[in-house]
Amino acid sequence: EDKVVQSPLSLVVHEGDTVTLNCSYEVTNFRSLLWYKQEKKAPTFLFMLTSSGIEKKSGRLSSILDKKELFSILNITATQTGDSAIYLCAGNYGGSQGNLIFGKGTKLSVKP
């Protein structure tokens, strides 16, 4: 059965801390892994990873995929209160005609 598991489920840090969010997956016909950030309602896209070992960066956020060990991490450096959100990881199964399976998310709370 396809599944995506995120850890931790929740995390509380202080501004300035660095955090690492984890995502492991077992997805048949794997095509890509995606990260989304959900603050209020609509998840917004962060990264799509298709190749192993290549880090993607956007400001203080970065992510990398390990296709051998079937996991991905999302790093956030120098956290700010605006980083407080639920971070969702999703595995693309079934190829181009396929779909996404989401993990349950990591709820990150950044305290001032």
Partner 1 sequence: KAGVTQTPRYLIKTRGQQVTLSCSPISGHRSVSWYQQTPGQGLQFLFEYFSETQRNKGNFPGRFSGRQFSNSRSEMNVSTLELGDSALYLCASSLAGPGANVLTFGAGSRLTVL
Question: Smallest gap, in angstroms, from Cβ of residue 41 to partner 1?
Answer: 4
- Rounded Cα gap, residues 110 and 15, in angstroms: 6
Per rule CB under 8 A, is residue 24 in the interface with partner 1? no
Per rule CB under 8 A, is residue 109 in the interface with partner 1? no
Using the contact rule CB under 8 A, the part of the chain among 20-28, 40-48, 60-68, 72-80 near partner 1 is 40-48
Residue carrying the six token digits 């309602």: 41
CB closer to partner 1, 67 vs 107: 107
Q: Which of 88, 91, 108, 110 binds partner 1 (CB under 8 A)?
A: 88
Per rule CB under 8 A, is residue 1 in the interface with partner 1? no
Q: Which of 42, 58, 68, 112 binds partner 1 (CB under 8 A)?
A: 42
- Rounded Cα gap, residues 9 and 4, in angstroms: 13
Residue carrying the six token digits 């980083």: 83
Q: Do residues 63 and 77 make contact, with C-beta atoms less than 8 angstroms apart?
A: no
- Cis check: omega of the bond before 8, within 30 degrees of 0: yes
